[in-house]
């Protein structure tokens, strides 16, 4: 916060994750669009305030790039990067994770991270 007590606009990170039922390109695109939409809506962020996005998938998702879903959602001029999650024994399967870097005046402590479609188990500490 600034000396006036008002939050200043700056870079914020918004995390999210979602699970897929199947390794299917259509389901991937739908789940990514749903998750991005919730991440932006819950935090009052406009698409033009998204600076860049990192998207990851668990190793069992190979049918499509999650960035294709982000492009279909409307992030056509936003830098996107896809990567594969670590393959950890016993980890939740068919998970897409997103880290969006956004310009926002929301204090970091008030950012709402979003977990959908069964991914809520990843961060039960964040679920109200």
Q: Which residues are catalytic?
A: 15, 71, 82, 85, 97, 115, 123
**In whole angstroms, how far apart are CA 3 and each of 7, 8, 44, 106?**
9, 10, 24, 16
* 8 A C-beta contact, residue 68 and residue 104: no
- DSSP-derived letter for residue 60 is T
SS3 120: helix
């Amino acid at each position: 916060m600034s000396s006036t007590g008002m939050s200043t606009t700056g870079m914020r990170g918004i995390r999210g994750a979602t699970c897929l039922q199947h390794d299917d390109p259509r389901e991937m695109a739908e789940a990514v669009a749903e998750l991005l939409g919730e991440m932006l809506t819950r935090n009052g962020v406009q698409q033009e305030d998204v600076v860049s996005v990192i998207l990851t998938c668990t190793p069992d998702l190979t049918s499509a790039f999650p960035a294709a879903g982000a492009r279909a959602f409307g992030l056509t001029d936003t830098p996107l990067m896809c990567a594969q999650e670590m393959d950890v024994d016993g980890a939740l399967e068919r998970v897409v994770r997103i880290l969006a870097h956004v310009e926002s005046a929301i204090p970091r402590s008030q950012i709402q991270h979003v977990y959908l479609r069964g991914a809520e188990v990843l961060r039960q500490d964040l679920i109200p």
